[in-house]
């Protein structure tokens, strides 16, 4: 084992051992000025007007990474979309203007939920269509086509509605 260790050290490239690790770019320095205008403190990047400077210092500005910028942009777009949706919800619904001299629009009324109004009231016709469908299925057996099934089911549907 001892020989293997020395062999690894001897064969390992020196650049891999002594190479410096990659670092992020050096942060930029920005100067901030605290100014007093009419008793109100303001902070700004550029120098204050004469007699208004209170304090100045330097801060490191780290530029955002590309991924952070993309994420921030996506969040900004999502917030704008939410804001638009809220504005649309707050707006009153726009109703059509009534025409001059016309009657007010009628409200549509619905029947009780679950009520079915049949178009045809012919139980004999429905039963006959079902018998014809069953006979066609028996005649075709298990090898019936989808087209046959569709055609027969449509005929039953039309007869029973």
Task: Residue 62: count other Cβ atoms within 10 Å of its Cβ.
Answer: 10
Answer for the pair 29, 60: CB distance below 8 angstroms, yes or no. Answer: yes
Task: Residue 125: count other Cβ atoms within 10 Å of its Cβ.
Answer: 13
130 located within any domain:
yes
Number of domains in the chain: 1
43 located within any domain:
no
18 located within any domain:
no
Q: What is the pLDDT of residues 110-125, one digit of tens each?
A: 666 665 555 556 888 9
118 located within any domain:
no
Q: What is the pLDDT of residues 14-63, one digit of tens each?
A: 544 554 545 555 667 889 999 988 888 888 988 888 778 888 989 887 66
For residues 36-61, one letter each, b for 16 or more C-beta atoms within 10 angstroms of the residue's C-beta and e for the rest, the string is eeeeeeeeeeeebeeeeeeeeeeeee
81 located within any domain:
no
Q: Order of strands across the sheet with 40-44?
A: 40-44, 28-37, 53-61
32 located within any domain:
no
61 located within any domain:
no
77 located within any domain:
no
User: Which stretches of the chain are assigned E, i.e. beta strand?
Assistant: 28-37, 40-44, 53-61
Tell me the average pLDDT of the chain.
77
pLDDT value, residue 113: 64
Name the token pair of 18. Answer: 């002594």
pLDDT value, residue 78: 95
């Amino acid at each position: 084992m001892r020989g293997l260790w020395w062999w690894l050290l001897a064969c390992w490239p020196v650049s891999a051992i002594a190479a410096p690790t990659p670092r992020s770019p050096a942060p930029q320095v920005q100067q901030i000025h605290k100014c007093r205008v009419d008793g109100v403190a303001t902070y700004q990047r550029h120098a204050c007007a004469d007699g208004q400077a209170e304090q100045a210092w330097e801060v490191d500005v780290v530029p955002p990474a590309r991924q952070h910028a993309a994420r921030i942009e996506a969040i900004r777009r999502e917030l704008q979309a939410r804001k638009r949706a809220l504005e649309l919800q707050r707006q009153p619904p726009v109703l059509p203007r009534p025409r001059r001299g016309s009657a007010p629009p009628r409200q549509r009324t619905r029947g009780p939920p679950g009520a079915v109004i049949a178009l045809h009231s012919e139980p004999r016709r429905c039963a006959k269509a079902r018998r014809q469908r069953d006979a066609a299925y028996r005649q075709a057996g298990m090898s019936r086509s989808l087209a046959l099934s569709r055609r027969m089911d449509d005929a039953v549907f039309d007869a029973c509605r």
